[in-house]
Amino acid sequence: MATIDDPSVTFNVVREDLPDGVTLLRLAGELDLAAAPTLTARIDEVFDDGGSRILVNLRNVTFCDSTGLSAFVRGHHVSTDAGGWLRVMGARGTVARVLRISGLDTLLAVGDLDGT
């Protein structure tokens, strides 16, 4: 089984439960066809645990394809159906560009870590 120190691991999600019922998911690596199911599973865990407000930190995501975008859209729909939200923040470079081109920057209230 691969570990996070293994060079074959190209994606990682770390969960942190914040005050006021917000769950922070810190993503790192490439969010692609192989990694999107991991993100979807982590989002589902939040809902299984009774959460509905998810903040996704993309600062360390180096790539995001359409399957990654689909995971965000699915998470958005599930969270809003539960009375919550899914927001992304910290996107940079090509990841930020993909979010802007797709229009998800508006839907998911994309901002930087400092709140801009």
By residue range, what is the domain housing residue 46?
11-107
Does 4 map to a domain?
Answer: no
Convert 59-93 to b/e letters by CB count within 10 Å (16 or more is b).
eebebbeebbbebbebbbebbeeeebbbbbbbbee
Distance of CA 13 to the CA centre of its chain: 8
Does 3 map to a domain?
Answer: no
Does 60 map to a domain?
Answer: yes
pLDDT number for residue 114? 33
pLDDT tens for 77-114 read 999 999 999 999 999 999 999 999 999 999 997 665 33
What percent of the chain has pLDDT above 70? 86
Does 25 map to a domain?
Answer: yes
Number of domains the chain contains: 1
CATH classification at residue 64: 3.30.750.24
Does 37 map to a domain?
Answer: yes
pLDDT number for residue 7? 55
pLDDT number for residue 10? 87
